[in-house]
Chain A
Amino acid sequence: MAIVINGTNYPLPDDPRVSLLDFLRERLGLTGTKLGCNQGGCGACTVILDGTRVLSCLTLAVQADGRDVLTIEGLASDQSGLHPLQQAFIDHDGLQCGYCTPGQICSAVAMIGELRRGDPSYVTADLVEGPKGGLRQEIRERMSGNLCRCGAHNGIVAAIEQMLNGEAP
Protein backbone atom coordinates (compact mmCIF):
# COMPACT_ATOMS: atom_id res chain seq x y z
CA MET A 1 0.00 0.00 0.00
CA ALA A 2 1.53 3.27 -1.10
CA ILE A 3 0.73 6.59 -2.68
CA VAL A 4 2.91 8.07 -5.37
CA ILE A 5 3.34 11.76 -4.65
CA ASN A 6 5.19 13.83 -7.21
CA GLY A 7 6.88 10.64 -8.38
CA THR A 8 7.92 9.36 -4.95
CA ASN A 9 6.33 6.42 -3.13
CA TYR A 10 5.00 7.00 0.37
CA PRO A 11 3.45 4.40 2.67
CA LEU A 12 -0.17 5.02 3.60
CA PRO A 13 -1.02 6.36 7.05
CA ASP A 14 -2.22 3.83 9.63
CA ASP A 15 -5.23 5.89 10.61
CA PRO A 16 -7.79 5.86 7.77
CA ARG A 17 -9.23 9.12 9.11
CA VAL A 18 -6.24 11.03 7.79
CA SER A 19 -7.23 13.06 4.75
CA LEU A 20 -4.93 13.29 1.79
CA LEU A 21 -4.55 16.97 2.70
CA ASP A 22 -3.42 16.27 6.26
CA PHE A 23 -1.19 13.48 5.00
CA LEU A 24 0.57 15.91 2.69
CA ARG A 25 0.82 18.77 5.13
CA GLU A 26 1.20 17.26 8.58
CA ARG A 27 2.86 13.92 7.84
CA LEU A 28 5.03 14.71 4.82
CA GLY A 29 5.60 18.41 5.34
CA LEU A 30 4.38 19.20 1.84
CA THR A 31 2.65 22.40 2.87
CA GLY A 32 2.28 23.85 -0.61
CA THR A 33 -1.20 22.32 -0.69
CA LYS A 34 -3.32 24.62 1.46
CA LEU A 35 -6.03 23.98 4.00
CA GLY A 36 -8.74 26.56 3.49
CA CYS A 37 -11.99 25.16 4.82
CA ASN A 38 -11.49 21.40 5.23
CA GLN A 39 -15.00 20.82 3.95
CA GLY A 40 -14.97 21.10 0.18
CA GLY A 41 -15.99 24.74 0.07
CA CYS A 42 -12.98 26.66 -1.20
CA GLY A 43 -10.66 24.66 -3.47
CA ALA A 44 -7.42 25.71 -1.76
CA CYS A 45 -6.48 22.05 -1.26
CA THR A 46 -6.82 21.07 -4.92
CA VAL A 47 -4.35 18.44 -6.12
CA ILE A 48 -4.19 16.40 -9.29
CA LEU A 49 -5.02 12.72 -8.77
CA ASP A 50 -4.29 10.48 -11.75
CA GLY A 51 -4.58 13.54 -13.98
CA THR A 52 -7.86 14.72 -12.48
CA ARG A 53 -8.28 17.68 -10.14
CA VAL A 54 -9.76 16.75 -6.77
CA LEU A 55 -10.06 18.19 -3.28
CA SER A 56 -7.51 16.63 -0.98
CA CYS A 57 -9.48 17.66 2.13
CA LEU A 58 -12.35 15.34 1.27
CA THR A 59 -10.15 12.55 -0.04
CA LEU A 60 -9.07 10.02 2.55
CA ALA A 61 -5.40 9.28 2.09
CA VAL A 62 -6.18 5.57 1.95
CA GLN A 63 -8.43 6.20 -1.04
CA ALA A 64 -5.40 7.36 -2.97
CA ASP A 65 -3.68 4.02 -2.51
CA GLY A 66 -1.76 3.12 -5.63
CA ARG A 67 -2.56 6.40 -7.32
CA ASP A 68 -0.46 9.26 -8.61
CA VAL A 69 -0.79 12.53 -6.75
CA LEU A 70 0.61 15.69 -8.26
CA THR A 71 0.89 18.69 -5.94
CA ILE A 72 2.12 22.23 -6.45
CA GLU A 73 5.59 21.11 -5.39
CA GLY A 74 5.71 18.67 -8.30
CA LEU A 75 4.43 20.90 -11.07
CA ALA A 76 7.67 22.37 -12.30
CA SER A 77 10.07 20.02 -14.02
CA ASP A 78 12.88 20.93 -11.61
CA GLN A 79 12.92 22.22 -8.04
CA SER A 80 13.98 25.77 -8.75
CA GLY A 81 12.11 26.24 -12.00
CA LEU A 82 8.56 27.31 -12.58
CA HIS A 83 5.79 25.68 -14.58
CA PRO A 84 4.73 28.05 -17.39
CA LEU A 85 1.42 28.64 -15.61
CA GLN A 86 3.24 29.58 -12.41
CA GLN A 87 5.22 32.13 -14.39
CA ALA A 88 2.02 33.40 -16.02
CA PHE A 89 0.47 33.90 -12.57
CA ILE A 90 3.42 36.09 -11.62
CA ASP A 91 3.33 37.99 -14.90
CA HIS A 92 -0.40 38.75 -14.65
CA ASP A 93 -0.33 39.27 -10.88
CA GLY A 94 -2.83 36.45 -10.49
CA LEU A 95 -2.20 36.36 -6.76
CA GLN A 96 -2.04 38.56 -3.72
CA CYS A 97 -1.69 36.85 -0.36
CA GLY A 98 -0.71 33.62 -2.13
CA TYR A 99 -2.79 31.28 -0.01
CA CYS A 100 -5.33 30.13 -2.60
CA THR A 101 -2.66 30.26 -5.30
CA PRO A 102 -1.34 26.66 -5.30
CA GLY A 103 -4.92 25.38 -5.46
CA GLN A 104 -5.77 27.78 -8.27
CA ILE A 105 -2.73 26.68 -10.24
CA CYS A 106 -3.25 22.94 -9.76
CA SER A 107 -6.91 23.36 -10.61
CA ALA A 108 -6.10 25.38 -13.72
CA VAL A 109 -3.50 22.92 -14.99
CA ALA A 110 -6.08 20.11 -14.98
CA MET A 111 -8.85 22.42 -16.18
CA ILE A 112 -6.89 23.30 -19.29
CA GLY A 113 -6.93 19.60 -20.16
CA GLU A 114 -10.71 19.42 -19.68
CA LEU A 115 -11.23 22.44 -21.87
CA ARG A 116 -8.93 21.21 -24.61
CA ARG A 117 -10.75 17.86 -24.55
CA GLY A 118 -13.94 19.73 -25.37
CA ASP A 119 -15.81 18.96 -22.17
CA PRO A 120 -18.80 21.27 -21.79
CA SER A 121 -19.47 23.37 -18.69
CA TYR A 122 -22.66 24.83 -17.24
CA VAL A 123 -22.13 28.01 -19.30
CA THR A 124 -21.44 26.20 -22.57
CA ALA A 125 -24.21 27.25 -24.95
CA ASP A 126 -24.35 24.03 -26.93
CA LEU A 127 -23.66 20.88 -24.94
CA VAL A 128 -23.12 18.75 -28.01
CA GLU A 129 -20.81 21.16 -29.74
CA GLY A 130 -18.86 21.83 -26.55
CA PRO A 131 -17.08 25.03 -25.54
CA LYS A 132 -16.80 27.42 -28.45
CA GLY A 133 -16.13 31.08 -27.85
CA GLY A 134 -16.79 32.95 -24.64
CA LEU A 135 -13.46 31.66 -23.39
CA ARG A 136 -13.26 33.90 -20.33
CA GLN A 137 -16.70 32.88 -19.12
CA GLU A 138 -15.75 29.24 -19.67
CA ILE A 139 -12.61 29.72 -17.60
CA ARG A 140 -14.54 31.54 -14.89
CA GLU A 141 -17.23 28.89 -14.55
CA ARG A 142 -14.66 26.09 -14.52
CA MET A 143 -12.47 27.86 -11.94
CA SER A 144 -15.38 28.80 -9.67
CA GLY A 145 -14.51 25.97 -7.31
CA ASN A 146 -11.37 27.88 -6.33
CA LEU A 147 -12.27 30.84 -4.17
CA CYS A 148 -9.95 33.81 -3.89
CA ARG A 149 -10.71 36.42 -1.25
CA CYS A 150 -8.02 38.94 -2.17
CA GLY A 151 -9.65 39.37 -5.55
CA ALA A 152 -6.96 38.21 -7.99
CA HIS A 153 -9.60 36.81 -10.34
CA ASN A 154 -8.82 38.97 -13.36
CA GLY A 155 -5.13 38.11 -13.22
CA ILE A 156 -5.82 34.42 -12.73
CA VAL A 157 -8.12 34.30 -15.74
CA ALA A 158 -5.61 36.26 -17.83
CA ALA A 159 -2.81 33.86 -16.87
CA ILE A 160 -4.90 30.83 -17.80
CA GLU A 161 -6.00 32.46 -21.04
CA GLN A 162 -2.37 33.03 -21.94
CA MET A 163 -1.59 29.36 -21.29
CA LEU A 164 -4.55 28.25 -23.40
CA ASN A 165 -3.51 30.47 -26.25
CA GLY A 166 -0.06 28.97 -26.10
CA GLU A 167 1.47 32.33 -25.38
CA ALA A 168 3.07 31.24 -22.16
CA PRO A 169 6.82 31.65 -22.12
Chain B
Amino acid sequence: MVENNPRLRLFCHVVLILGAAMVCVPLYFAFVAGSLTLQEVQQTPFPMLPKGNFIENATTAWNQGDFGRLFLNSVIVTLGIVIGKLSISLIAAYAVTYFRFPFRMTAFWLIFISLMLPVEVRIIPTYEAVADAAGPLRQLVEVTGLGTLIEWITGGYRIETALQWNMVNTYPGLILPLIASATATFLFRQFFLTIPDELCEAAQLDGAGPLKFFWDVVLPLSRANIAALSIILFLYGWNQYLWPLLFTTDKEMQTAVLGLKALVPHADTEPAWNVAMSAAFFVMLPPAVVIIVMQRWFTRGLVDAGK
Protein backbone atom coordinates (compact mmCIF):
# COMPACT_ATOMS: atom_id res chain seq x y z
CA MET B 1 0.00 0.00 0.00
CA VAL B 2 1.06 3.56 -0.54
CA GLU B 3 1.31 4.58 3.07
CA ASN B 4 0.98 3.10 6.50
CA ASN B 5 -2.01 4.07 8.56
CA PRO B 6 -2.39 1.59 11.42
CA ARG B 7 -5.63 3.05 12.74
CA LEU B 8 -7.38 2.85 9.39
CA ARG B 9 -6.01 -0.64 8.88
CA LEU B 10 -7.42 -1.71 12.22
CA PHE B 11 -10.76 -0.16 11.29
CA CYS B 12 -10.74 -2.08 8.00
CA HIS B 13 -10.07 -5.36 9.78
CA VAL B 14 -12.91 -4.65 12.20
CA VAL B 15 -15.26 -3.92 9.29
CA LEU B 16 -14.28 -7.14 7.55
CA ILE B 17 -14.57 -9.21 10.71
CA LEU B 18 -18.06 -7.77 11.24
CA GLY B 19 -18.90 -8.59 7.63
CA ALA B 20 -17.64 -12.13 7.98
CA ALA B 21 -19.53 -12.50 11.26
CA MET B 22 -22.69 -11.29 9.57
CA VAL B 23 -22.29 -14.07 7.02
CA CYS B 24 -21.48 -16.70 9.62
CA VAL B 25 -24.02 -15.97 12.36
CA PRO B 26 -27.05 -17.45 10.55
CA LEU B 27 -24.98 -20.44 9.46
CA TYR B 28 -23.69 -20.96 12.99
CA PHE B 29 -27.14 -20.82 14.56
CA ALA B 30 -28.47 -23.12 11.88
CA PHE B 31 -25.73 -25.55 12.81
CA VAL B 32 -26.52 -25.24 16.52
CA ALA B 33 -30.22 -25.79 15.82
CA GLY B 34 -29.36 -28.79 13.70
CA SER B 35 -27.53 -30.36 16.61
CA LEU B 36 -30.36 -30.14 19.15
CA THR B 37 -33.23 -32.42 20.03
CA LEU B 38 -36.83 -31.40 19.42
CA GLN B 39 -37.24 -30.38 23.08
CA GLU B 40 -34.01 -28.39 23.19
CA VAL B 41 -34.76 -26.44 20.04
CA GLN B 42 -37.93 -25.06 21.63
CA GLN B 43 -36.40 -23.91 24.89
CA THR B 44 -35.69 -20.31 25.87
CA PRO B 45 -33.01 -18.98 25.87
CA PHE B 46 -31.65 -20.59 22.75
CA PRO B 47 -28.40 -22.49 23.51
CA MET B 48 -25.24 -20.80 22.28
CA LEU B 49 -23.21 -23.99 21.84
CA PRO B 50 -23.93 -27.00 19.63
CA LYS B 51 -24.95 -30.33 21.16
CA GLY B 52 -24.37 -33.82 19.84
CA ASN B 53 -27.43 -34.69 17.75
CA PHE B 54 -26.41 -33.33 14.37
CA ILE B 55 -25.74 -36.67 12.65
CA GLU B 56 -28.92 -38.14 14.08
CA ASN B 57 -31.04 -35.20 12.84
CA ALA B 58 -29.37 -35.28 9.46
CA THR B 59 -30.12 -39.00 9.13
CA THR B 60 -33.75 -38.42 10.12
CA ALA B 61 -34.02 -35.62 7.58
CA TRP B 62 -32.33 -37.65 4.86
CA ASN B 63 -34.75 -40.58 5.29
CA GLN B 64 -37.84 -38.51 5.98
CA GLY B 65 -37.35 -36.37 2.88
CA ASP B 66 -36.12 -39.23 0.68
CA PHE B 67 -33.08 -37.11 -0.12
CA GLY B 68 -31.25 -39.95 -1.87
CA ARG B 69 -33.71 -39.67 -4.71
CA LEU B 70 -33.88 -35.86 -4.54
CA PHE B 71 -30.09 -35.53 -4.72
CA LEU B 72 -30.04 -37.77 -7.76
CA ASN B 73 -32.69 -35.52 -9.39
CA SER B 74 -30.77 -32.38 -8.47
CA VAL B 75 -27.57 -33.79 -9.90
CA ILE B 76 -29.23 -34.85 -13.16
CA VAL B 77 -31.05 -31.53 -13.60
CA THR B 78 -28.00 -29.46 -12.71
CA LEU B 79 -25.68 -31.39 -15.00
CA GLY B 80 -28.31 -31.19 -17.74
CA ILE B 81 -28.44 -27.42 -17.39
CA VAL B 82 -24.66 -27.03 -17.29
CA ILE B 83 -23.85 -29.35 -20.19
CA GLY B 84 -26.90 -28.42 -22.25
CA LYS B 85 -26.49 -24.70 -21.95
CA LEU B 86 -22.72 -24.78 -22.49
CA SER B 87 -22.86 -26.93 -25.62
CA ILE B 88 -25.80 -25.15 -27.19
CA SER B 89 -24.36 -21.71 -26.61
CA LEU B 90 -20.81 -22.66 -27.66
CA ILE B 91 -21.93 -23.82 -31.09
CA ALA B 92 -24.44 -20.99 -31.52
CA ALA B 93 -21.79 -18.39 -30.65
CA TYR B 94 -19.36 -20.12 -33.02
CA ALA B 95 -21.95 -19.95 -35.80
CA VAL B 96 -22.66 -16.23 -35.42
CA THR B 97 -19.01 -15.19 -35.18
CA TYR B 98 -17.27 -17.53 -37.64
CA PHE B 99 -19.79 -17.98 -40.47
CA ARG B 100 -21.22 -15.73 -43.13
CA PHE B 101 -24.73 -16.89 -43.88
CA PRO B 102 -28.06 -15.29 -44.79
CA PHE B 103 -30.00 -13.79 -41.86
CA ARG B 104 -26.94 -13.92 -39.64
CA MET B 105 -27.81 -10.65 -37.92
CA THR B 106 -31.46 -11.68 -37.60
CA ALA B 107 -30.37 -14.85 -35.81
CA PHE B 108 -28.06 -12.84 -33.59
CA TRP B 109 -30.78 -10.39 -32.58
CA LEU B 110 -33.29 -13.19 -31.97
CA ILE B 111 -30.80 -14.70 -29.54
CA PHE B 112 -29.89 -11.35 -28.07
CA ILE B 113 -33.51 -10.37 -27.30
CA SER B 114 -33.87 -13.35 -24.99
CA LEU B 115 -31.37 -11.71 -22.63
CA MET B 116 -34.14 -9.32 -21.71
CA LEU B 117 -36.71 -11.53 -20.05
CA PRO B 118 -35.88 -13.68 -17.03
CA VAL B 119 -37.89 -16.88 -16.69
CA GLU B 120 -39.67 -15.47 -13.62
CA VAL B 121 -41.68 -12.95 -15.64
CA ARG B 122 -43.09 -15.52 -18.02
CA ILE B 123 -43.73 -18.46 -15.69
CA ILE B 124 -47.33 -19.12 -16.63
CA PRO B 125 -47.00 -19.12 -20.42
CA THR B 126 -43.78 -21.12 -20.10
CA TYR B 127 -45.59 -23.61 -17.92
CA GLU B 128 -48.25 -23.99 -20.59
CA ALA B 129 -45.62 -24.28 -23.29
CA VAL B 130 -43.85 -27.07 -21.47
CA ALA B 131 -46.96 -28.89 -20.33
CA ASP B 132 -47.99 -28.99 -23.97
CA ALA B 133 -44.73 -28.83 -25.88
CA ALA B 134 -46.22 -30.20 -29.05
CA GLY B 135 -49.04 -27.62 -29.04
CA PRO B 136 -47.45 -25.29 -31.58
CA LEU B 137 -46.79 -28.22 -33.92
CA ARG B 138 -50.40 -29.33 -33.59
CA GLN B 139 -51.61 -25.86 -34.48
CA LEU B 140 -49.27 -25.83 -37.45
CA VAL B 141 -50.70 -29.13 -38.63
CA GLU B 142 -54.25 -27.83 -38.25
CA VAL B 143 -53.67 -24.48 -39.91
CA THR B 144 -51.82 -25.89 -42.91
CA GLY B 145 -54.47 -28.56 -43.46
CA LEU B 146 -51.79 -31.22 -43.14
CA GLY B 147 -53.83 -33.01 -40.49
CA THR B 148 -56.87 -33.33 -42.76
CA LEU B 149 -54.63 -34.50 -45.57
CA ILE B 150 -53.06 -37.22 -43.45
CA GLU B 151 -56.44 -38.23 -42.09
CA TRP B 152 -57.74 -38.54 -45.64
CA ILE B 153 -54.71 -40.50 -46.90
CA THR B 154 -54.42 -42.93 -44.03
CA GLY B 155 -58.13 -43.30 -43.61
CA GLY B 156 -58.87 -41.80 -40.23
CA TYR B 157 -55.46 -41.53 -38.58
CA ARG B 158 -55.46 -38.25 -36.66
CA ILE B 159 -51.94 -36.93 -36.33
CA GLU B 160 -53.16 -34.24 -33.90
CA THR B 161 -53.80 -36.86 -31.23
CA ALA B 162 -50.32 -38.32 -31.72
CA LEU B 163 -48.69 -34.91 -31.25
CA GLN B 164 -48.91 -34.86 -27.48
CA TRP B 165 -45.86 -34.16 -25.41
CA ASN B 166 -46.37 -33.28 -21.77
CA MET B 167 -43.11 -32.56 -20.02
CA VAL B 168 -44.48 -32.04 -16.49
CA ASN B 169 -42.53 -34.24 -14.05
CA THR B 170 -39.81 -35.05 -16.57
CA TYR B 171 -36.16 -34.13 -16.60
CA PRO B 172 -36.35 -32.32 -19.98
CA GLY B 173 -39.20 -30.24 -18.59
CA LEU B 174 -37.01 -29.20 -15.67
CA ILE B 175 -33.95 -28.54 -17.81
CA LEU B 176 -34.98 -27.08 -21.17
CA PRO B 177 -36.79 -23.88 -20.07
CA LEU B 178 -33.81 -22.93 -17.93
CA ILE B 179 -31.48 -23.33 -20.89
CA ALA B 180 -33.56 -20.95 -22.99
CA SER B 181 -31.56 -17.82 -22.43
CA ALA B 182 -28.66 -16.35 -24.29
CA THR B 183 -26.37 -15.19 -21.49
CA ALA B 184 -23.77 -17.86 -22.20
CA THR B 185 -24.05 -17.43 -25.97
CA PHE B 186 -23.37 -13.74 -25.62
CA LEU B 187 -20.40 -14.36 -23.36
CA PHE B 188 -18.80 -16.89 -25.70
CA ARG B 189 -19.40 -14.59 -28.66
CA GLN B 190 -17.56 -11.78 -26.89
CA PHE B 191 -14.71 -14.16 -26.19
CA PHE B 192 -14.53 -15.55 -29.73
CA LEU B 193 -14.20 -12.02 -31.06
CA THR B 194 -10.93 -11.68 -29.14
CA ILE B 195 -9.36 -14.80 -30.73
CA PRO B 196 -6.70 -13.67 -33.25
CA ASP B 197 -7.81 -13.91 -36.88
CA GLU B 198 -4.49 -15.46 -37.87
CA LEU B 199 -5.49 -18.71 -36.20
CA CYS B 200 -8.46 -19.19 -38.45
CA GLU B 201 -6.50 -18.13 -41.54
CA ALA B 202 -3.75 -20.61 -40.72
CA ALA B 203 -6.28 -23.36 -40.11
CA GLN B 204 -7.97 -22.68 -43.41
CA LEU B 205 -4.62 -22.69 -45.25
CA ASP B 206 -3.87 -26.05 -43.68
CA GLY B 207 -7.17 -27.27 -45.02
CA ALA B 208 -9.07 -27.60 -41.74
CA GLY B 209 -12.84 -27.42 -42.05
CA PRO B 210 -15.05 -25.41 -39.66
CA LEU B 211 -15.78 -28.33 -37.36
CA LYS B 212 -12.15 -29.34 -37.06
CA PHE B 213 -11.15 -25.75 -36.36
CA PHE B 214 -13.83 -25.54 -33.68
CA TRP B 215 -12.80 -28.78 -32.03
CA ASP B 216 -9.02 -28.36 -32.22
CA VAL B 217 -8.55 -24.61 -31.76
CA VAL B 218 -11.61 -22.75 -30.47
CA LEU B 219 -12.65 -25.26 -27.83
CA PRO B 220 -9.21 -25.60 -26.17
CA LEU B 221 -8.85 -21.81 -26.16
CA SER B 222 -12.22 -21.44 -24.42
CA ARG B 223 -11.33 -23.82 -21.62
CA ALA B 224 -11.02 -21.10 -18.95
CA ASN B 225 -14.34 -19.52 -19.91
CA ILE B 226 -16.05 -22.89 -19.97
CA ALA B 227 -14.74 -23.69 -16.49
CA ALA B 228 -15.89 -20.37 -15.05
CA LEU B 229 -19.29 -20.60 -16.65
CA SER B 230 -19.80 -24.21 -15.55
CA ILE B 231 -19.41 -23.12 -11.94
CA ILE B 232 -21.90 -20.29 -12.30
CA LEU B 233 -24.38 -22.53 -14.10
CA PHE B 234 -23.90 -25.29 -11.54
CA LEU B 235 -24.88 -22.89 -8.74
CA TYR B 236 -27.76 -21.57 -10.86
CA GLY B 237 -29.07 -25.06 -11.58
CA TRP B 238 -28.68 -26.46 -8.08
CA ASN B 239 -30.35 -23.46 -6.47
CA GLN B 240 -33.41 -23.34 -8.74
CA TYR B 241 -36.61 -23.14 -6.77
CA LEU B 242 -39.53 -21.52 -8.57
CA TRP B 243 -39.37 -23.63 -11.71
CA PRO B 244 -39.08 -27.06 -10.05
CA LEU B 245 -41.80 -25.99 -7.61
CA LEU B 246 -44.23 -25.35 -10.46
CA PHE B 247 -43.08 -28.21 -12.52
CA THR B 248 -42.98 -31.22 -10.25
CA THR B 249 -46.25 -32.52 -8.90
CA ASP B 250 -44.66 -35.91 -8.29
CA LYS B 251 -42.56 -36.23 -5.14
CA GLU B 252 -40.19 -38.56 -7.00
CA MET B 253 -39.17 -35.77 -9.39
CA GLN B 254 -38.49 -33.02 -6.86
CA THR B 255 -35.07 -31.48 -6.31
CA ALA B 256 -33.09 -31.25 -3.07
CA VAL B 257 -33.91 -27.57 -2.50
CA LEU B 258 -37.63 -28.36 -2.73
CA GLY B 259 -37.17 -31.27 -0.35
CA LEU B 260 -35.59 -28.93 2.19
CA LYS B 261 -38.45 -26.45 1.84
CA ALA B 262 -40.91 -29.26 2.53
CA LEU B 263 -39.17 -30.02 5.85
CA VAL B 264 -39.53 -26.47 7.16
CA PRO B 265 -42.17 -26.43 9.91
CA HIS B 266 -45.34 -24.39 9.39
CA ALA B 267 -47.47 -22.70 11.99
CA ASP B 268 -49.58 -25.76 12.72
CA THR B 269 -46.96 -28.52 12.52
CA GLU B 270 -44.46 -29.80 15.03
CA PRO B 271 -41.61 -27.23 15.18
CA ALA B 272 -38.91 -29.68 14.02
CA TRP B 273 -36.46 -26.91 13.15
CA ASN B 274 -33.59 -29.13 14.25
CA VAL B 275 -34.31 -31.60 11.44
CA ALA B 276 -34.88 -28.85 8.86
CA MET B 277 -31.65 -27.04 9.78
CA SER B 278 -29.52 -30.15 9.59
CA ALA B 279 -31.03 -30.80 6.16
CA ALA B 280 -30.22 -27.22 5.12
CA PHE B 281 -26.58 -28.07 5.68
CA PHE B 282 -26.37 -31.04 3.39
CA VAL B 283 -28.45 -29.29 0.69
CA MET B 284 -26.07 -26.29 0.81
CA LEU B 285 -23.01 -28.50 0.84
CA PRO B 286 -22.43 -29.24 -2.90
CA PRO B 287 -22.57 -25.59 -4.09
CA ALA B 288 -20.60 -24.41 -1.04
CA VAL B 289 -17.82 -26.91 -1.75
CA VAL B 290 -17.74 -25.86 -5.41
CA ILE B 291 -17.50 -22.18 -4.53
CA ILE B 292 -14.78 -22.68 -1.93
CA VAL B 293 -12.63 -24.99 -4.03
CA MET B 294 -12.96 -23.06 -7.28
CA GLN B 295 -13.17 -19.52 -5.97
CA ARG B 296 -10.57 -18.04 -8.30
CA TRP B 297 -12.26 -19.36 -11.46
CA PHE B 298 -15.64 -18.39 -10.31
CA THR B 299 -14.98 -14.74 -9.36
CA ARG B 300 -13.20 -14.11 -12.63
CA GLY B 301 -15.98 -15.73 -14.60
CA LEU B 302 -18.68 -13.83 -12.78
CA VAL B 303 -17.05 -10.46 -13.35
CA ASP B 304 -16.54 -11.30 -17.03
CA ALA B 305 -20.12 -12.47 -17.38
CA GLY B 306 -21.46 -9.24 -15.95
CA LYS B 307 -19.64 -7.10 -18.46
Real binding pair: no
List B residues at the A interface (Cβ < 8 Å): none
